[in-house]
Amino acid sequence: METIPLDRGDPRWVFPQLPDGDAVAVSAALAEADAHLRTLADRLGAPPGGRLAFHAQPQFAIAGLFGVVEAAGVHFSAGLYAPRRCAFDLRWGPPWTVDTEIMGLCPPADTCGTHVLATHDTQHPTPREAAHALTEATARLLALATATPLATWHSRIDTPCPAGEGAGQGAG
């Protein structure tokens, strides 16, 4: 899988049938979503890299857009993609899924991985609606992360958790 920054990619990798009349609006919405993630990274003092990027699998001609901001063991992520059953499922949207997730890393003494603290996903019938939904979703992440101290997110992790149970699967 290749990871390609938003500004070096093409929205048609996610929306192959994107009408020319919608391309500018979709690109602008995706750039705004990217700006929300960069602002989130700045506000949390997170390392650079909290940007939207295409995750492309060229051998299967599929791509999705994803971004993650990590600060002090709390991950804020957003994604836009056409849902598929497996890598060999070559269907493109509609629908397109937009999802966000806030996850906390389990304390070092435990080994279960991560705990899903909040999640939200929606389905959209057009590229324009999906791109705008991603903008709204990243704005919600930015608002939540700004209004809620990282310590509060950490307090929502169920500890002690049953070590190994649901490793990396959002146990808790």
Residue 61 CA to residue 80 CA, distance in Å, equals 16
What is the reported pLDDT for 155? Answer: 82
pLDDT band at 4 (very low <50, low <70, confident <90, very high): confident
Residue 16 CA to residue 165 CA, distance in Å, equals 40
Q: What is the residue-wise DSSP string for 70-131?
A: EETTEEEEEEEE---SSTT--PPPSSEEEEEEEEEEPPTT--S-EEEEEEEEEEESSHHHHH
What is the reported pLDDT for 25? Answer: 96
Helix/strand/coil for 146: helix
Encode pLDDT of 13-61 as tens digits.
Answer: 899 889 999 999 999 999 999 999 999 999 998 877 668 998 877 666 6
Contact 115, 166 (CB under 8 A): no
Residue 112 CA to residue 47 CA, distance in Å, equals 24
98 beta partners: 80, 122
pLDDT band at 166 (very low <50, low <70, confident <90, very high): very low
Query: Rounded to whole angstroms, what are the CA distances from 107 to 51, 85, 115, 166, 168?
Result: 26, 33, 10, 15, 13
What is the reported pLDDT for 171? Answer: 34
What is the reported pLDDT for 60? Answer: 61
Average pLDDT on 122-150 reads 95
**Residue 34 CB contacts under 8 Å (≥ 6 apart), including other chains:** 6, 7, 51, 52, 67, 138
pLDDT: is 95 or 161 the higher one?
A: 95
Taking the whole predicted model, whether its pTM rises above 0.95 is answered as: no
Contact 57, 1 (CB under 8 A): yes
Domain positions in the chain: 2-155
> In the sheet where 2-5 sits, what is the strand order?
2-5, 53-57, 62-71, 74-81, 96-105, 114-124
